[in-house]
Structure 1
């Protein structure tokens, strides 16, 4: 494979960032400084950045700020998917979304080729937390917060685990509340169904956090980037 692909896949940086590192003569292959991104290397080649080994990454991990209007799927005949937002090179990697955000839900979405990690993050027994910011039609009171802090029965009879609910603001004249909610399950449309169970309606839903992985404030809707080594390590603890 090309050296720039090796380095980009290993989390060193984007292709353009890798080219800059090569120009700065900071990359060595088998102990020799290289400046061309086209040099062919193998997965087990001895590649170093600033004299530190770079290990080829066999799996890929992308963090996306999902925008409204796209579905969380790999392919669809009629609707645009999160994979369609990726560049041509990333679309060839076989990435898939970890979990699902509704078409109108925005925010943090992890895309990977690592099935084992995806299973671990989604397994019910792992209780990986998800934190959302939501705009609610209805006034969320202390009583509502207390109800969410206990197992809540949904309209179809399902019972959720306790959730943390925090009110950010309320507009009584507009009958609108803004809240932060943390859940440890992944039931279908769970947050929307929890508010429906207490007679309220979710107008907007935005995921801020999954486990220890947080949505960067500077990542705009539709943008994505590779996970840092620290972020990946936080998910694999």
Structure 2
């Protein structure tokens, strides 16, 4: 598998999954179930997962696939793998708030190297090109052919007036306490992996996550942010956030534009 082969496939699958998700999102009603970990899952999660998984397995049958909605994949390990969250931000979807995304990423030796984040209700698509540069594709999004893309890059942060983004559904006192360590010009809330993309485009300087996440929640956004010149580190010791961990669970982390004077936990 080459990056040149990968990027058109994951871009197309993200758009196709987004179409499927929006069909269900715009319906009068949809089914919501509860998984064994008490998190919600909808028919949109399941439909998008089936579409993406089939497409990836057909295109790249020799690459390990890990996806949130297939528990059997969570015990499989490999140095190189594709990792998918077919609908990140299910609570945003259920509450019809729009901040949900399709996430597909490639991880190599613990590092998310390529990825796509598509927010269908927002009409925003971010991905890494084959050369690793992160871009945002704008205009009418055609599944078969990429449109106009603009390279994106992180901000040059002003530590006396930082722009901070945090979780919309999981913004708690621990998050507020950490944000209060900084001099903040503006603080906003957003859902799903869009937070990584807001840092990647320079719309925010810092995204701290003091809460539970899984690697499928973060890998695609992490890849996009890295391709825009940003970084993601562990909350506790500011070492790099790595992937392929047991159970694919993340520690707390900080996503940021280099130049932010990171505060201790």
- TM score, norm. by length of structure 2: 0.21
Whichever of the two has the greater Rg, that structure is 1
- TM score, norm. by length of structure 1: 0.23
Structure having the higher helix fraction is: 2
Greater RCO, CA 8 A, separation 6+: 1
